[in-house]
Structure 1
Amino acid sequence: MSAHGRGWILVIFWFFFVWETVSWKTTSNDTEPVPVVIWHGMGDSCCKAFTLKFIKLVKETVPGSYVLSLKIGKSATEEIENSYFMNVNHQVEMVCNILSNDKKLQNGYNAMGFSQGGQFIRAVAQRCPSPAMKNLITFGAQHQGVYGLPHCPGESSHICNWIRKMLNLGAYSSPIQQHLVQAEYWHDPLNEDLYRNNSIFLAEINQERRINESYKENLMKLNKFVMVKFLKDLTVDPVDSEWFGFYKAGQAKDTYSLQESVLYQEDRLGLKAMDEAGKLEFLTVDGDHLQFSKKWFINNIVPYLK
């Protein structure tokens, strides 16, 4: 064979070698699970107690997943305290910094928020679009707030009793709004104007005072927004809040749905547009707050994590 012929063989061989290498790398990356970010609920910490079982569940059902359970404090004790007493807006800012500095999240991530962590991580989607949140899944979140704390999960019943007292005395006073987490998503249907004008977190992220177009644009970038409601929930009052419903103004008995709300009808967050585009998913569990089986999780949640 001539030198010219051997040269062509080498060129062809090199071409297929490079093509196979690039193809393998592309396929390998495409099949890697999307990272998962978890924000725990009230009275819990990033990596112990209640949240630990959710971390294990994701790793078991989506093998190879990188799971980041958000740490809001230097220790488990500090995290638990911060879930009661650290200004939510400061928490959201801290989380945005954590996410932007995590190299494993730069190609995007899926987010799971449990109980109050659900509305908190939604605020991350609205305020911090980079890195990109792909799917948002909230479990028993209080998207329209709460009006009552029938149960208060956590380490201390003393703390829960104190919180109830403070909320009843003056949820919308500046000191309580600034330093009591649960006050920041306290929604009093008997005093809608007071809530709307003084809520420093929930009323702001729900666009109830003014419209921040970036909040709407950022939330609409989600592929899916999945909301899980627990039909026998004894913690969230009203349960409808888990799907963006709430008590009708002036009383605390009858509720409205997301679709009946001003938030939806005026499309302040883009939820109406997302609903019409098939981006909203409303799931139910026939159980109490955050109680679901591994089988239910595999059938209903894992498809959004792949």
Structure 2
Amino acid sequence: MSPSVFKFIPLQVFLFIVGICTYAQSVMAGQSHIFALVFTILCLQLSDAGTPTPLVIWHGMGDSCCNPLSMGRIMKMIEAEIPGIYILSLEIGNSFTEDTLNGFLMPVPEQIELACKTIRADANLQNGFNAMGFSQGAQFLRAIVQQCDGVKVYNLTSIGGQHQGVYGFPNCMGDDVVMCDYVRRMLNLGAYVPAVQNNLVQAEYWHDPINEDKYRSQCIFLPGVNNENVRNETYVSRLTSLNNFVMVKFLNDTMVQPQESEWFGFYAPGKDNQVLTLQETQLYQTDQLGLKTMDEAGKLVFLATEGEHLQFSNQWFIANIMPYLY
């Protein structure tokens, strides 16, 4: 669908509106209180129109909130296109190093709880915001939409997120080769062993299509947030309240298996060689999470780009993603 974009009003126009409103209010000082009140409300609405919608972003595995080569570059690009925008890049921990390690080691529910507290405590986000997640940060931000009380998200953009999980770990993002090797060894030992589930983030969205029952009963994050065991109506109502849920798939991705998980598809149950689109899955057909409702309302946006995992040009990002960040 075509994005519903509210064109950003330049700062000069915003200041002009505020000036006119202030002058008009002073002129009307002797007029009806009711008329003055209505005009004041109108002026406040016009003033708000000049403020860009804030943005919350969450980085992927092996990255940190403010790496100048990744999230830092993205933030600078957005700030150049939308002057005055407020951006919160979530940091899970007290340093860049902690943030990176927690992306491997801190249980996802604990990360969601910390991020939720950070967002709710931020005065700049009280009137709502857009959200954009990269790789695993995308499904974590979706959990914020569904689980975090008192927040309002307008558009959720998933850049290479694995919303049905992964079943394969061919490549590992980031510079920490030791951590990547550790992840592979732990998953090979048994992704659903409690010691692995509680100490390895990637195990918490490891989706074994051959052992669906074990996945649904022993995986501590993904089955719950996907409503695969119990239909949580709060999750459904909050997710379907989004204006748009944008999902980006990388057509040459060798990091995510299967790639279709980036569009909420996955392997057929009991098979690891047959991939279903979202619309072919039981999750969609039973509308267990509200995705069918969103699709029929035109709220699901499926974008694809050539390239490896999270590899895209500034030009592609500006043309395809920026409309959902205003």
Shift of 1:20: 7.0
Shift of 1:81: 0.6
Question: 1:18 and 1:132, CA in 2 relative to 1: closer, same or farther beyond 3 A?
Answer: closer
Verify the 8 A CA contact 1:36 1:66 in the aligned structure 2: yes
The worse-fitting range, judged by mean Cα deviation, of 27-36 and 105-114 is 27-36
Question: 1:216 and 1:13, CA in 2 relative to 1: closer, same or farther beyond 3 A?
Answer: closer
Q: Where does residue 222 of structure 1 map in the other structure? A: 242
Answer yes or no: is 1:136 the counterpart of 2:149: no
Q: Where does residue 158 of structure 1 map in the other structure? A: 178
Q: Where does residue 4 of structure 1 map in the other structure? A: none
Q: Where does residue 110 of structure 1 map in the other structure? A: 130
Question: 1:31 and 1:165, CA in 2 relative to 1: closer, same or farther beyond 3 A?
Answer: same
Letter in 1 for 2:151: P
Letter in 2 for 1:50: S
CA separation in 2, counterparts of 1:213 and 1:18? 39
Answer yes or no: is 1:54 the counterpart of 2:54: no
Q: Where does residue 32 of structure 1 map in the other structure? A: 51
TM-score computed with the length of structure 1 as normaliser? 0.93
- Residue aligned with 1:208, SS: coil
CA separation in 2, counterparts of 1:199 and 1:163? 16
Verify the 8 A CA contact 1:42 1:115 in the aligned structure 2: yes
Between the aligned residues of both structures, percent identity stands at 52
Shift of 1:196: 1.1
CA separation in 2, counterparts of 1:10 and 1:51? 49
CA separation in 2, counterparts of 1:130 and 1:55? 25
Shift of 1:21: 6.3
Letter in 1 for 2:323: P
CA separation in 1, counterparts of 2:260 and 2:89? 27
Shift of 1:23: 4.6
Verify the 8 A CA contact 1:129 1:218 in the aligned structure 2: no
Q: Where does residue 30 of structure 2 map in the other structure? A: 11
TM-score computed with the length of structure 2 as normaliser? 0.87
Question: 1:19 and 1:260, CA in 2 relative to 1: closer, same or farther beyond 3 A?
Answer: closer
CA separation in 1, counterparts of 2:126 and 2:321? 23
Q: Where does residue 41 of structure 1 map in the other structure? A: 60
CA separation in 1, counterparts of 2:58 and 2:42? 36
Match of 2:251 among 231, 241, 245: 231
Shift of 1:215: 0.8
- Residue aligned with 2:70, SS: helix
Q: Deviations over 1:133-180 (max 9, x none)?
A: 111000000000001111101231121111111101110011110110
Q: Where does residue 23 of structure 2 map in the other structure? A: none
- Residue aligned with 2:163, SS: coil
Q: Where does residue 69 of structure 1 map in the other structure? A: 89
After the TM superposition, which residues 83-232 of structure 1 pair with which residues of structure 2 at under 5 Å, given as runs? 83-232=103-252
RMSD: 2.0
Shift of 1:210: 1.4
Verify the 8 A CA contact 2:145 2:151 in the aligned structure 1: no
Answer yes or no: is 1:281 the counterpart of 2:301: yes
Q: Where does residue 298 of structure 1 map in the other structure? A: 318
CA separation in 2, counterparts of 1:18 and 1:287? 54
User: Where does the alignment leave 5 or more consecutive residues of structure 2 unmatched?
Assistant: 1-26
The worse-fitting range, judged by mean Cα deviation, of 73-82 and 129-138 is 129-138
CA separation in 2, counterparts of 1:53 and 1:59? 10
Verify the 8 A CA contact 1:147 1:188 in the aligned structure 2: yes
Letter in 2 for 1:281: V
Verify the 8 A CA contact 2:211 2:270 in the aligned structure 1: yes
- Residue aligned with 1:137, SS: strand
CA separation in 2, counterparts of 1:73 and 1:56? 23
Question: 1:45 and 1:36, CA in 2 relative to 1: closer, same or farther beyond 3 A?
Answer: same
CA separation in 2, counterparts of 1:284 and 1:31? 32
Verify the 8 A CA contact 2:55 2:86 in the aligned structure 1: yes
Letter in 2 for 1:97: K
Shift of 1:16: 9.4
Letter in 2 for 1:55: M
CA separation in 2, counterparts of 1:19 and 1:200? 51
Extract structure 1 runs of 4+ deviating beyond 2 A: 8-26
Match of 2:289 among 257, 265, 269: 269
Shift of 1:12: 5.3
Question: 1:50 and 1:266, CA in 2 relative to 1: closer, same or farther beyond 3 A?
Answer: same
Answer yes or no: is 1:249 the counterpart of 2:269: yes
Letter in 2 for 1:237: Q
Letter in 1 for 2:49: D
Verify the 8 A CA contact 2:226 2:289 in the aligned structure 1: yes
Shift of 1:206: 0.8
Shift of 1:254: 1.5
